[in-house]
Amino acid sequence: MLKQKHQVLNHLKKSHQQGFTIVELLIVIIVIAILAALVIAAYNGIQQMARDNERQTDMRTLAQEWTMYNQKNNGALPNCNGFNASDGASAFVASIMKIDTKLLQSPGQTSMTFVDGNATDTTKYGCQQAVLSQSPITISWREEADNGATLKTRTISW
């Protein structure tokens, strides 16, 4: 009889040991959290690269549009005659150059900033008033910053 009680007690002990301990569950949760953090960090980097690639594609399209305008107008880019500078650079691009201003917007944004390469004020923009000669046109733009780092500048010249 004592032997039977001992067997019953051993059986009960074994049945209570089926399952996971709190430590094991915590380890699994921590591993899942680490993997999730790695996936999120990689995903954000991929999204940033996609937006930067979209900017580059938009600037190439802008360069092609500018070249077509130049060829249609005997090698000249538009001048500012009759253009009200207070209308802003996006109005210049849309009304005179006939270029879609969405090319100038950052992906996912609704605003844009034009900068004349010679200007210190970020609200200024340039208006080419002469026939193009030897010097190429250069368009520059900034990519997104990585974790607060300095923005990378990219250019296209043609």
Report pLDDT digits (tens) over 83-130: 555 555 555 555 556 666 666 666 666 665 554 444 444 433 444 444
> What's the pLDDT score for residue 40?
92
Q: Give the start-to-end residue ranges of the domains of the chain.
A: 22-157
* Dist. CA 86–CA 92, nearest whole Å: 10
Alpha helices in 17-158 (DSSP H): 22-72, 89-91
Tell me the C-alpha to C-alpha distance, in Å, between residue 107 and each of 7, 22, 45, 49, 60: 71, 46, 15, 11, 15
156: amino acid identity, one letter: I
> What's the pLDDT score for residue 12?
60
Indicate the range of 27-31, 39-43, 119-123 predicted with least confidence: 119-123
> What's the pLDDT score for residue 6?
66
> What's the pLDDT score for residue 54?
84
Length of the chain: 158
- Residue-wise DSSP of 24-45: HHHHHHHHHHHHHHHHHHHHHH
Residue 14: band (very low, low, confident or very high) from pLDDT cuts 50, 70, 90: low
